Chains A and B, each alone.
Chain A
Amino acid sequence: QDVCATGKTITAGSLTVATGNPAYFPWVIDNDPSSGKGFEAAVAYEIATRMGFAAEKVIWTATSFDQAIQPGAKEFDLNLQQYSISAERDQTVDFSAPYYTAAPAVVVRQPVVDAGATATASSLKGLKWGAAAGTTALALIDALIGPESEVMLYDDTADVTEAMKANQIDATLVDLPTALYLAAAVLDDGVVLGQFPSDATGGLDQFGAVFADGNPLRDCVNEAISAMVSDGTLAKIETEWLEGATGVPMIQ
């Protein structure tokens, strides 16, 4: 075991990694992170290996989205759940260096497209929007789109898609890989209408692992991530698990 992580984990000798409950494709395949399949699962094992934890020393746990960003002591060492890094959150919890940069993308259902929705700012304004509360999506929707009607808020992405299926909302804003997954697998007739350029988001599109505030383990993880970036491992994992974003139009 690497000296860096020694004595800094909540269970000595093991690394406790949290993910969503449930954890979604393509971040984790089949809600089973211990298989190492899925982008975040693979990243987690790679980080663990680099910090000197054997695969069987990685303990998985599930937390809700809100739960992980509460202040206070944590039940996990690090939490990978597509958390966007933001200055406000950084006051309560600590973030690792970003392990992925995602463009925000708009997901709708086919009937909305049939009704004339297009990937233009003016068309998007008129749609009925929904998002998961407690994510950065609401801020992004307000900043990037400025919808005309009230934004509906839900506990998590599952409830957002449920509301889309119920036709209660037209569109939601999520990171591109999630968008592709929702459109392909969760919604019968989902369409990724468009994506925003990463530079338009004010830096709200970078995912980092979450730590309890002041957790010294962060530096070890950051070390591992920067090593993964520099030797191209991260890019390799990305191409293995995340689809290319080709064909999704840019929204101006």
Chain B
Amino acid sequence: MKLQLHGIEKSFGALKVCRDISLGVNKGEMVCLIGASGSGKSTLLRCINLLEPIDDGKILLDGVEISDPDLDPQPIRQRIGLVFQSYNLFPHMTVLDNVMLAPRLIHKTSQAELRDQAEALFVRFGLTDRIGHFPDQLSGGQQQRVAIIRALAMKPEIMLFDEVTSALDPELVGEVLDVVRQLKSEGMTMVLATHEMGFAREAADKVCFLEKGMILEEGPPEKIFAAPREARTQEFLRRVL
């Protein structure tokens, strides 16, 4: 198994945001987290990326515990890509510099080689003509695609997506989801928090419904969407579909 979560607990002060969350993600699998706003989806993804220290439980990547607080989180984060709802591109750098910053600082490869690799990614996701632009010269959908490229440039083993289409105009959602589909077809292991039920139903291997920091229900999308077991899941799906 690529990624395993065992009994993750996480609180902010008195507010418990993750409660005994256990989850397994196989290599090449795509898991979608759904649930109401505030149910803890973003926090869970941030915990996996070690941006938030967990209070209890274990996170295993390729069977090795990465949540050990004595480990240096930097090299681990390099193995896990995370894309945010609000893109979070660096506004003072060109799109290319955004993508090359981390590889340049961390990988000891030659400048030219890194540039070639970055450009290859831009070609792959159809953004070649935007390479010298600054983020605010791009549309939201383009910015989000650059954010995905930036994460991919570190050659991560697993990608986490946090509502990557929520900030986009309805017309631009498609182009970003296409990128996710393409990654899936290339065999990337992925965890997505999403409000796009249509996409989850069509593309996910497994769907988890989070409610108040707990996984209330999980299973293949056909099952969750067609015949949700829990009353709360039914209610949620009725509202958003």
CB–CB under 8 A between A and B in the complex?
A: no
Q: Which residues of B contact A (CB under 8 A)?
A: none
Q: Which residues of A contact B (CB under 8 A)?
A: none
